[in-house]
Amino acid sequence: MWLGTYGGGINRLREGKLEAITTAQGLHDNFVSRILVDDAGRFWVLGNLGIFSVGRDELNSVADHDKSSIIGSVYGVADGMKSSEASGGHQYAGIKTRDGRLWFPTIKDVVIIDPTLTIRTAPKVIIEGASTRPDDGRSQSAPVEISKTNSMSIPIGQRDLEIRFTGLSFSKPESIRFFYKLDGLDGDWTDAGTRRTAFYPYLPGGDYTFQVRAVNANGVMSENTAVLSIVVDKYFWQTSWFALFGLFALSIVAIVGYRIRMGQLESRRLKQVEFSKQLLNAQESERGRIATELHDGLGQNLLIIRNWAHLGLDASEDPAEVQERLQQISETAAQALHETRAIVRNLSPQNLRRFGLTDAIRNITEQIESATGVIFELKLDNIDGLFPEEAELSIYRVVQECLNNIIKHSESPRGRVSILRMGDTVSILIADYGKGFATNQYFESNGSTRGFGVQSVLQRVKLLGGEINIESRDSDGTRIHIRLKK
């Protein structure tokens, strides 16, 4: 069922659902006084802006949402009517007679239409020309040449494409409606109404096909569709060969990056292997040193104690000699105990667990001062509890190794140990004023060092996630600056 409304256009009622067709979908007027259907099934709609003719299938296509707008014909004063305004609302506003003619009242006359006499000649649509404007914001539009094969080329730097077209018809040419589409950009046809231009502000580089067709005032679609092939020149970086070159270059970069990364991983693996070898050698060396100290120190002292004990037993009848042997045994045992404690202290620093990291560093520095005569300037913030127990032991070993290097190699009478808390960072500075060394001679070209002591320091700092900087020059001392995140 089709319903004409006074302000709501034409409505289709189907299965209890209303679908409205208004001027938004191409209807000539939303005020409908009468709907008549001719013998061919075509609808004739009387409104306040004239009489509108449209096919039933056209209306159903829009109501079913298969199309966005209807195509029809409008009749008014230009077609001989004295007025386009309908006379309806409270009285019967049109009839269809037995001979098939349609009668409609207006406010000034009665309009009689014979649908069989409607002119059905299709209009012809042609493309007249096109123009573009340089992309400088100032220049005027200029025509673009269209070849005989209906093709055109737009050079780089042009925009604001305007395409002009028209339709040829002897029946109300001013009422011809146009529909156009640009393949490659538009997804659907654009209803231009009676406007005879299509405007595209910007087209990316590429190939396009412009199509336009027309519908005359009687709703007859043009038999031909005018076609214009458009080529928009591309910048060099938009071309396919540039994309291939970019893909090739990206592949080369990826391959080179992969090889560099694999080389870095292999270098890191070799460094780790070398460090492991040095660590094993150092462990064996440390075991040998401990064995030597036990043999030469503790072992010899125990041997002396045993011999003196035998001598004391042999001189049991002489109290003075026995007393002397016991005194010698006591002194030698005390020396053996001292050496044993020194070995144990080096292997496991008891002060670290007993007093904390800060006092342990202060204690080892004071011990080195007492044993060597090297004077150290100490500036220690309290860093106890800032690091896990394993990290505290590594920090202690780093400081211990740096102090040992000062004693062994620097020949400096003075040194400096500074540990400062700086926000979320702990700064450790260990310096001497001795002979120094040329760092370019001490470090290998691959970044490793020739001395295991420094290598051990570097590795421990790396495992702690810190940063280390070593500055040294001949006769100008050495500065080791370490930064650790809390």
Shared domain for 52 and 87, answered yes or no, is: yes
CATH of the domain at 36: 2.130.10.10
417 near 456, Cβ under 8 Å?
A: no
Shared domain for 356 and 481, answered yes or no, is: yes
173 near 125, Cβ under 8 Å?
A: no
CB atoms within 10 A of CB 295: 10
Cα(126)–Cα(211) distance, rounded to whole angstroms?
A: 10
Which DSSP symbol is given to 65?
A: T
Cα(60)–Cα(309) distance, rounded to whole angstroms?
A: 126
Cα(419)–Cα(409) distance, rounded to whole angstroms?
A: 22
CATH of the domain at 165: 2.60.40.10
Which DSSP symbol is given to 448?
A: -
Shared domain for 101 and 183, answered yes or no, is: no
Q: Characterize 453-471 residue by residue with b for buried, 16 or more Cβ atoms within 10 angstroms of its Cβ, and e for exposed.
A: ebbbbbbbbeebebebebe
Closest CA to 123 of 225, 191, 193, 192: 225
Q: Does residue 444 sit in helix, strand or coil?
A: coil
What pLDDT does residue 179 have? 92
Q: Strands 95-96 and 206-215, how do they pair?
A: unpaired
Shared domain for 410 and 456, answered yes or no, is: yes
Cα(133)–Cα(140) distance, rounded to whole angstroms?
A: 6
Domain end call among 182, 206, 234: 234
Q: Edge-to-edge, what's the strand order for the sheet holding 10-14?
A: 2-4, 10-14, 17-21
Shared domain for 213 and 142, answered yes or no, is: yes
Could you tell me the residue range of the domain that residue 88 belongs to?
2-117
pTM of the model: 0.43
Beta strands in 146-242 (DSSP E): 151-154, 158-168, 177-183, 190-193, 197-200, 206-215, 226-232
Shared domain for 359 and 475, answered yes or no, is: yes
Shared domain for 356 and 472, answered yes or no, is: yes
Give backbone dihedrals phi and psi of 248, rounded to 5 degrees, phi first. -65, -45
Shared domain for 323 and 311, answered yes or no, is: yes
**CA R_g for the chain:** 52
What pLDDT does residue 446 have? 47
Q: Strands 142-144 and 177-183, how do they pair?
A: unpaired
163 near 228, Cβ under 8 Å?
A: yes
Q: Edge-to-edge, what's the strand order for the sheet holding 42-47?
A: 32-37, 42-47, 50-55, 72-75
Shared domain for 52 and 86, answered yes or no, is: yes
Domain end call among 58, 91, 117: 117
What pLDDT does residue 278 have? 67
3-state secondary structure 254-295: HHHHHHHHHHHHHHHHHHHHHHHHHHHHHHHHHHHHHHHHHH
What pLDDT does residue 275 have? 65
Shared domain for 339 and 398, answered yes or no, is: no
What pLDDT does residue 337 have? 72
If you search the block for the tokens 């409609």, which residue do you land on? 104
Closest CA to 427 of 395, 459, 400: 395
Domain end call among 97, 117, 137: 117
Q: Edge-to-edge, what's the strand order for the sheet holding 197-200?
A: 142-144, 124-134, 158-168, 197-200
308 near 325, Cβ under 8 Å?
A: yes
Shared domain for 92 and 167, answered yes or no, is: no
pLDDT along the chain (486 residues), means of 10: 90 91 88 90 90 87 86 81 82 88 91 81 86 72 71 83 87 82 90 90 89 83 88 79 86 92 88 69 64 64 68 70 75 74 63 86 91 93 92 90 90 94 95 81 50 75 90 87 93
427 near 418, Cβ under 8 Å?
A: yes
121 near 220, Cβ under 8 Å?
A: yes
Structurally, how many domains does the chain consist of? 4
Shared domain for 256 and 310, answered yes or no, is: yes
